[in-house]
Amino acid sequence: MSRTAIGLLGGSFNPPHSGHRALVRHAMKRLHLRGMRVLVSPQNPLKSAGDYAPLEERIAATREMMRGLPNVRVEPEAAEGPTFAVDSIAKRVLREPHTDFIYVMGADSFAGLHRWRRWQALMEMVPIAVVSRPGFRLEALQSPAARAFAKAQVPERLALTLHRRTAPAWCFLTGLDREESSTAIRAREDPSKFGMESAT
Ligand SMILES: Nc1ncnc2c1ncn2[C@@H]1O[C@H](COP(=O)(O)OP(=O)(O)OP(=O)(O)O)[C@@H](O)[C@H]1O
Ligand SMILES: O=C(O)c1ccc[n+]([C@@H]2O[C@H](COP(=O)([O-])O)[C@@H](O)[C@H]2O)c1
């Protein structure tokens, strides 16, 4: 079977972890993607700027984390932040009108999608693959975005048809069960920032 679309995965990658690598591999396999662009955001508009490592450092670390994965490209989502997905995805879709794209995100991101700028327009722009993450299945499947676009949900058994659907179309992909998170890594690296200092 021929390969389908190019996946777009946005993120802070602050820092990247093996859960991100597993997410890319899972989405590529389940959607039969011919490539993945990993878009490193200078700044998530909903997160505090204070906690961020420099963009170039995060890009280099994300490239290292994705090393050896064929057809995976890591690039800045934009030169500077904050990045709004509706803009950064539109830019890529307009630049390559003949490419099928699928926007990929973890279940936690989909659960909060209704807080993103013009999120309905984003859902109407490209098909979206939502990938399972421990603790976020119900939150994602009962989220405002899931409810608003209930009719656009594609059953998981038809995931391979997602790329040729007209948006809005989204599909929940099960089977990834990775606990890693950047927050947990930052907390281990610098517990003082997270109120976890020992009293002694
Ligand atoms: N363990 C994981 N399982 C599934 N999806 C994940 C996982 N970790 C990150 N993602 C997804 O990857 C994308 C980028 O995630 P991000 O860089 O914010 O990592 P994070 O671990 O969620 O970071 P933080 O803890 O700082 O919020 C998001 O769509 C997120 O949902
Ligand atoms: O468009 C928005 O309003 C918006 C709000 C929060 C996050 N995002 C996107 O989500 C990605 C960063 O999310 P995160 O969870 O990895 O920090 C990045 O690619 C942003 O474009 C986008």
Q: Counting beta carbons within 10 angstroms of the beta carbon of residue 149, is it exposed (0 to 12), middle (13 to 18) or buried (19 or more)? A: buried
pTM attached to this predicted model:
0.96
Mutate which of 40, 44, 80, 182 for ligand 2? The one with the most ligand atoms within 8 Å of its CB, which is: 44
Q: Position 35: which residue type?
A: G
Confirm whether the ipTM is greater than 0.90.
yes
pLDDT tier at 190, thresholds 50, 70, 90: confident
Q: Which sequence spans correspond to the domains of the chain?
A: 5-194
Q: What is the pLDDT of residues 77-89, one digit of tens each?
A: 999 989 999 999 9
The pLDDT assigned to 195 comes to 52
DSSP class of 153: B
The pLDDT assigned to 200 comes to 34
Q: How far is the CA of 192 from the centre of ligand 1 (A)?
A: 22
Residue 149 half-sphere exposure, CB side, CA atoms within 13 Å?
26
Percent of the chain whose predicted confidence (pLDDT) is above 70: 94
The pLDDT assigned to 198 comes to 41
* 5-194 maps to CATH 3.40.50.620: yes
Residues in contact with ligand 1 by the CB-under-6-Å rule are 11-14, 19-20, 23, 105-106, 108-109, 131, 133, 176, 178, 180-183
Q: Whose CA is closest to 55, among 32, 78, 35?
A: 78
